[in-house]
């Protein structure tokens, strides 16, 4: 039960990371590698403001991450809009590396650490099982955010526009969707989601360095592919699957856990062989692939 709870907890964290990436990809068809740096800067802010109340620290981290996301869209991606996908991809990768080096100059190359939410590091026993508080809180946070995002996407005008843009951005613009406002909103929400991921990660690992958010971002990108690259639900589901499988492998492989990533990507290949367009892809999309 503890292993399953930890797997659900990690899967939920990856789902949030994949959802933030999926929002931007849906409206711009952009693989935003710099999303990792949004996670990193939120973690740095929470470490630096650790003396403040936790809620204020998290709100500041969310604000900084959202502002940085909007700034990158205004300064880089908006100027390159309309260019080829290869150029956007290279720009995204270059921005990611540039931000990493900026963090290194500002915060130093060595890890910065602080005990963020130390009350979450404890554990308790129930029915003969040992539960970590961080796992339970992570699951609760993930469920709350996913429900809020579900309401946003399904019940609001912005959500309708995001879904329309994810399906066919050009047609959505012809129907009156304001592209600049929609893209800016998607980047801002992705920054807030990145700050939630940063909070969860920094509680588990308080050692924050310039590449803090890189690993989870790469695996979240894998989750988007296996979930359905044009589906927000697919992005969240794929991210959850990747995190869940990785946690289970790390738990049960024991000394062979160094091969966890090999088994993970083997599972990913099998999933894609069965569903080339992703788990939540439509049948006609798969036939075109």
Question: What pLDDT does residue 93 have?
Answer: 93
Question: How many C-beta neighbours within 10 Å does residue 88 have?
Answer: 20
Give pLDDT, residue 283: 45
Q: Is 200 left (phi over 0), alpha (psi -120 to 50) or beta?
A: alpha
Q: Cα 46–20–272 angle (5° rounding)?
A: 130
255 Rama sector, left if φ>0, alpha if ψ -120 to 50, beta otherwise: alpha
**Helix, coil or strand: residue 64:** helix
- For residue 36, pLDDT over 90 is answered with yes
User: Quick one: pLDDT at residue 195?
Assistant: 94
Adjacent-strand bridge partners of 129:
126
Question: What are the tokens at 232?
Answer: 């927000």
**pLDDT of res. 284:** 37
User: What is the mean predicted confidence (pLDDT) over 174-190?
Assistant: 82
Please give the pLDDT value at position 204. 84
**pLDDT tens digit sequence for 194-209:** 999 999 999 888 889 9
Which range has the worst mean pLDDT, 43-52, 165-174, 185-194, 279-288?
279-288
Task: Kindly report, residue by residue over 94-105, the tens digit of the pLDDT.
Answer: 999 999 999 999
Query: What's residue 3's pLDDT?
Result: 78
Residue 110: pLDDT over 80:
yes
**Count, residues in the chain:** 289
Q: What does the alpha-carbon distance between residue 282 and residue 98 come to, in Å, rounded to a whole number?
A: 37
- Tell me which of 24-28, 46-50, 97-101, 115-119 is least confident: 115-119
pLDDT for 172 equals: 67
pLDDT, one tens digit per residue, over 53-94 is 889 999 999 999 999 999 999 999 988 887 888 898 899 999
Higher pLDDT, 55 or 6: 55
Would residue 82 be called left, alpha or beta, if left means φ above 0 and alpha means ψ between -120 and 50 degrees?
left
Q: What is the mean pLDDT of residues 162-179?
A: 69
Structure confidence at residue 217 (pLDDT): 93
Can you point out the beta strands (E) in the chain?
A: 123-126, 129-132
Buried residues in 100-120 as b, exposed as e (16+ CB within 10 A): beebeeebeeeebebebbeeb
């Amino acid at each position: 039960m503890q292993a399953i709870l930890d797997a659900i907890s990690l899967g939920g964290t990856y789902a949030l990371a994949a959802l933030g990436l999926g929002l931007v990809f849906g409206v711009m068809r952009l693989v935003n590698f710099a999303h990792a740096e949004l996670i990193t800067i939120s973690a740095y802010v929470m470490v630096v403001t650790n003396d403040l109340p936790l809620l204020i620290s998290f709100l500041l981290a969310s604000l900084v991450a959202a502002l940085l996301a909007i700034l990158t869209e205004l300064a880089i991606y908006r100027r390159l809009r309309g260019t080829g996908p290869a150029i956007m991809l290279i720009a995204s990768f270059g921005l990611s590396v540039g931000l990493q080096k900026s963090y290194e100059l500002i915060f130093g190359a060595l890890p910065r650490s602080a005990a963020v939410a130390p009350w979450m590091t404890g554990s308790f026993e129930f029915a003969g099982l040992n539960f970590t508080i961080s796992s339970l809180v992570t699951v609760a946070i993930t469920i709350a955010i996913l429900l809020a995002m579900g309401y946003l996407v399904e019940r609001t005008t912005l959500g309708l526009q995001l879904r329309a843009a994810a399906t066919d951005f050009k047609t959505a613009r012809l129907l009156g969707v304001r592209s600049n406002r929609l893209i800016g909103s998607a980047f801002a929400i992705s920054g807030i989601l990145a700050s939630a991921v940063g909070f969860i990660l920094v509680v588990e690992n308080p050692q924050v360095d310039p590449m803090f958010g890189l690993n989870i971002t790469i695996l979240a990108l894998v989750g988007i592919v296996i979930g359905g690259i044009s589906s927000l639900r697919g992005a969240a589901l794929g991210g959850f699957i990747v995190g869940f499988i990785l946690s289970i492998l790390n738990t049960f492989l024991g000394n062979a856990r160094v091969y966890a990533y090999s088994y993970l990507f083997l599972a990913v290949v099998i999933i894609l062989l069965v569903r080339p367009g992703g788990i939540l892809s439509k049948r006609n999309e798969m036939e075109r692939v």
